[in-house]
A and B are shown apart, each in its own frame.
Chain A
Amino acid sequence: MSEALLTVSGLGKRFGGFIALADIELEVAKGERLGLIGPNGSGKSTLVNCLCGTLRNDSGSVRFNGRVLDGMKAHERTRLGMARSFQLPRPFGTMTLAENLRIPLLYVVQLRGAVPNIDKRCVELLDLVGLADKAHQLPTDLTQIEMRKLELARAMAAEPNLLIADESMAGLSHQEVDDILALLMRLNEQQGVTIIMIEHIMRAVMHFSQRLVVLVAGRKIADGNPADIVRQEDVVAAYLGS
Chain B
Amino acid sequence: MRNPVFILWLCVAAALTFGTAKLIDNPYVFFAGYVVLQYIVLSTGWNILGGYTGYVNFGTAAFFAMGAYSTVVLHKTVPDLPLPVMIAVGGVISGVIGLGTGYLTLRLRGTFFGIATLAMSVVVQTLITNWSFVGGSRGAYVVRPDTTEYFGIDYIEYLFLLMLALSVIAVGVARAIEKSRLGYGFATIRDDELAAEATGVPTLKLKLLATALSGGFMGMAGAPLPYYVTYLDPASGFSLSYAVNTIAMPLIGGTSSWLGPVIGAVLLGTLQQVATVTISSALSLLIVGLMLVGFVILAPKGIIGWFAPKGPRK
Q: Which residues of A contact B (CB under 8 A)?
A: 52-54, 73-76, 78-79, 84, 86, 90-96, 99, 102-104, 106-108, 110, 136-138, 154, 158
Contact = CB atoms under 8 A, between A and B. Distances in A.
Contacts of A96: 312, 314
Contacts, number: 86
Nearest to A98: B312
24 contacts: A73-B202, A74-B197, A75-B200, A78-B198, A79-B200, A86-B195, A86-B198, A90-B194, A92-B188, A92-B191, A92-B196, A93-B192, A94-B256, A95-B312, A96-B312, A99-B184, A103-B201, A106-B181, A107-B181, A107-B185, A107-B200, A108-B199, A137-B311, A137-B312
Given A91-B195, A99-B314, 11 more contacts: A52-B198, A73-B197, A73-B202, A86-B198, A90-B192, A91-B191, A96-B312, A106-B184, A106-B185, A107-B181, A107-B185
A97 B111 CA distance: 28
B191 to A, nearest CB: 4
B313 A94 contact: yes
B66 to A, nearest CB: 31
A158 B201 CA distance: 11
Contacts of A95: 184, 187-188, 191, 312-313
Contacts of B199: 75, 78, 103-104, 107-108, 154, 158
Contacts of B188: 92, 95, 103
B203 to A, nearest CB: 7
Contacts of B312: 95-96, 99, 136-138
A219 to B, nearest CB: 25
Contacts of B197: 53-54, 73-75
A54 B194 contact: yes
A138 B197 CA distance: 21
Interface residues of B, number: 24
Contacts of B192: 90-93
Contact of A94 (B181, B187, B196, B198): B187
B75 interface: no
A75 B181 CA distance: 16
Interface of B: 181, 184-185, 187-188, 190-192, 194-204, 256, 311-314
A56 to B, nearest CB: 12
**Interface SS, B side:** helix
A74 B204 CA distance: 11
Contacts of B311: 137-138
Given A99-B184, A99-B312, A94 B200 contact: no
B196 to A, nearest CB: 7
Given A54-B197, A103-B196, A94 B202 contact: no
Nearest to B191: A92
B204 to A, nearest CB: 8
Given A75-B201, A75-B202, A94 B195 contact: no
A53 B194 CA distance: 10
A84 B203 CA distance: 17
A102 B256 CA distance: 19
B198 A84 contact: yes
B179 to A, nearest CB: 12
A104 B203 CA distance: 13
A104 B184 CA distance: 11
Contacts of B202: 73, 75-76, 107
A155 B271 CA distance: 49
Nearest to A96: B312
A106 B206 CA distance: 14
A76 B256 CA distance: 28
A107 B311 CA distance: 25
A1 B145 CA distance: 82
A144 to B, nearest CB: 16
A137 B202 CA distance: 26
A90 B195 contact: yes
A93 B184 contact: no
A131 B61 CA distance: 47
A99 B196 CA distance: 13
A86 B192 CA distance: 12
B310 to A, nearest CB: 9
A180 B246 CA distance: 49
